[in-house]
């Protein structure tokens, strides 16, 4: 879909579902969180980390970067190092937005707006989903704050997000002939476009996301539960890296549309659920897998030669690398929580903030 067509659809459907908060937390969910913070010490302990981050961020200035650059760069590359420093802003932005919604202290709102506006006016989208996938926290923060931000600032941030989504759709890595139009890149691309589409109320982006997810499940995931990323990289690292954005997007779409894309089966009978179940024995420790031994990707060899941890051929998959997959899948399947608890060595019903979000959003 071209930028012009997207713009046309956006004008036609402007304002539709703008106030809905499917990406972050609705007011009802925030109220539920406030109750839990008073009643449950474990939830309070997890939230207090955001409180501390937000309080510290009140004394700091945003450090946006003109172009996010992580994809395809080795550790130690100056652009990757500079990006890592700039991306420290993203969890600060999310923490500021969350704390404002919980305690209504406007200094957190103002500082979150300052950070978001700084990124919106300085950062130039490059259409690379592996770079843009780092923006989750900023998108969620905007979704939390969009009705409270000054209208002029909200418009600037919304325009930046729209441009980010359009750059993803029209970028060279999304051309049909390229593997990056259907491998893990596209899973991250669809997640970012979907989050933006629902955060800014753009129905054209929403439609693109839903149609794209169905095709991605068919083309990217196999009927036996494996993925094309596992086949090309010979690494469970990339299987879970592929599943995480699909799971985040599925949670968003369940909330927004009521459709369960976790159990959705493509015409080839592939599904996200099957691909989570397929990797579960490796994450729970029942099976092991030597990573990257048969990888066909040049960059994997370059990282091994650069002595980057975890990328040496034959290194066994670390089950903890699949923890986020378990915690996200727990939204749909309660059997995933015990596996995550075992992996972390805890019996807490809230082993992570994602577990809190799952409970609030269900």
pLDDT tens-place string over residues 302-337: 999 999 999 999 999 999 999 999 999 999 999 999
* Residues 253, 261 contacting (CB under 8 angstroms): yes
Q: Given a cut of 70, is residue 17 above it in pLDDT?
A: no
Predicted local confidence at residue 260, as pLDDT: 98
Q: Tell me the pLDDT tens digit for each residue of 139-157.
A: 999 999 999 999 999 999 9
Longest dimension (CA), the chain: 54
Q: Given a cut of 70, is residue 294 above it in pLDDT?
A: yes
- Which residue shows structure tokens 């596996």? 339
CA-based end-to-end distance of the chain: 33
Predicted local confidence at residue 18, as pLDDT: 55
Task: Name which of 135, 134, 247, 105 is nearest 199 in CA terms.
Answer: 135
Predicted local confidence at residue 9, as pLDDT: 47
Predicted local confidence at residue 155, as pLDDT: 98
Q: Given a cut of 70, is residue 6 above it in pLDDT?
A: no
Q: Which fold does the domain 24-170 belong to in CATH? A: Glycosyltransferase (1.50.10)
User: Residue ranges per domain, the chain?
Assistant: 24-170, 198-362
Q: What is the pTM of this model?
A: 0.94
Q: Given a cut of 50, is residue 138 above it in pLDDT?
A: yes
Backbone angles phi, psi at 147, to 5 degrees: -85, -10
Q: Given a cut of 50, is residue 14 above it in pLDDT?
A: no
* Residues 234, 292 contacting (CB under 8 angstroms): yes
- Mean of per-residue pLDDT scores for the chain: 95
* Cα(241)–Cα(183) distance, integer angstroms: 11
Q: Tell me the pLDDT tens digit for each residue of 62-101.
A: 999 999 999 999 999 999 999 999 999 999 999 999 999 9
Contacts of 131 (CB under 8 A, 6+ apart): 67, 68, 69, 70, 71, 83
Q: Tell me the pLDDT tens digit for each residue of 261-277.
A: 999 999 999 999 999 99
* Cα(173)–Cα(189) distance, integer angstroms: 10
Predicted local confidence at residue 112, as pLDDT: 98
- Which residue shows structure tokens 């159990």? 263
- Which residue shows structure tokens 């807490």? 348
Cα radius of gyration (the chain): 20
SS3 track for the chain: CCHHHHHHHHHHCCCCCCCCCCCCCCHHHHHHHHHHHHHCHHHHHHHHHHHHHHHHHCCCCCCCCCCCCCCCCCCCCHHHHHHHHHCCHHHHHHHHHHHHHHHCCHHHHHHHHHHHHHHHHHCCCCCCHHHHHHHHHHHHHHHHHCCCCCHHHHHHHHHHHHHHHHHHHHCHHHCCCCHHHCCHHHHHHHHHHHHHHHHHCCHHHHHHHHHHHHHHHHHHECCCCCEHHHHHHCCHHHHHHHHHHHHHHHHHHHHHHCCCCCCCCCCCCCCHHHHHHHHHHHHCCCCCCECCCCCCCHHHHHHHHCCCCCCCCCCECCHHHHHHHHHHHCCCCCCHHHHHHHHHCCCCCCCCHHHHHHHHHC
Give the pLDDT band (50/70/90) at residue 19: confident
* Residues 90, 129 contacting (CB under 8 angstroms): no
């Amino acid at each position: 879909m071209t930028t012009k067509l997207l713009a046309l659809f956006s004008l036609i459907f402007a304002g539709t579902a703008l106030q809905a908060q499917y990406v972050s937390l609705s007011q009802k969910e925030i109220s539920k969180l406030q109750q839990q913070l008073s009643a449950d010490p474990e939830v309070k302990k997890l939230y207090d980390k955001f409180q501390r981050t937000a309080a510290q961020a009140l004394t700091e200035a945003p450090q946006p970067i003109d172009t996010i650059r992580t994809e395809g760069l080795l550790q130690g590359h100056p652009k990757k190092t500079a990006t890592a420093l700039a991306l420290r802003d993203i969890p600060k932005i999310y923490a500021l937005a969350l704390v404002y919604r919980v305690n209504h202290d406007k200094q957190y709102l103002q500082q979150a707006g300052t950070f978001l506006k700084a990124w919106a006016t300085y950062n130039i989208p490059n259409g690379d989903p592996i770079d843009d996938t780092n923006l989750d926290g900023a998108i969620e923060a905007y979704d939390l704050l969009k009705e409270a931000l000054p209208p002029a600032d909200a418009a600037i941030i919304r325009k930046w997000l729209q441009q980010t989504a359009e750059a993803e759709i029209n970028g060279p890595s999304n051309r049909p002939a390229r593997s990056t139009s259907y491998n893990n890149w596209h899973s991250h691309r669809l997640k970012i476009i979907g989050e933006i589409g629902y955060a800014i109320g753009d129905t054209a982006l929403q439609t693109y996301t839903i149609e794209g997810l169905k095709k991605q499940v068919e083309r990217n995931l196999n009927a036996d539960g494996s993925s094309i990323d596992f086949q090309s990289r010979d690494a469970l690292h990339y299987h879970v890296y592929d599943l995480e954005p699909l799971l985040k997007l599925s949670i968003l779409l369940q909330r927004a549309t009521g459709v369960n894309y976790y159990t959705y089966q493509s015409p080839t009978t592939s599904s996200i659920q099957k691909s989570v179940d397929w990797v579960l024995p490796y994450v729970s420790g029942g099976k092991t897998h030597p990573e990257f031994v048969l990888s066909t990707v040049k960059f994997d060899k370059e990282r091994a030669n650069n002595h980057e941890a975890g990328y040496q051929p034959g290194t066994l998959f670390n089950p903890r690398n699949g923890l986020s997959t378990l915690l996200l899948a727990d939204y749909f399947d309660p059997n995933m929580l015990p596996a995550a608890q075992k992996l972390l060595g805890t019996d807490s019903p809230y082993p992570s903030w994602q577990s809190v979000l799952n409970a609030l959003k269900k």
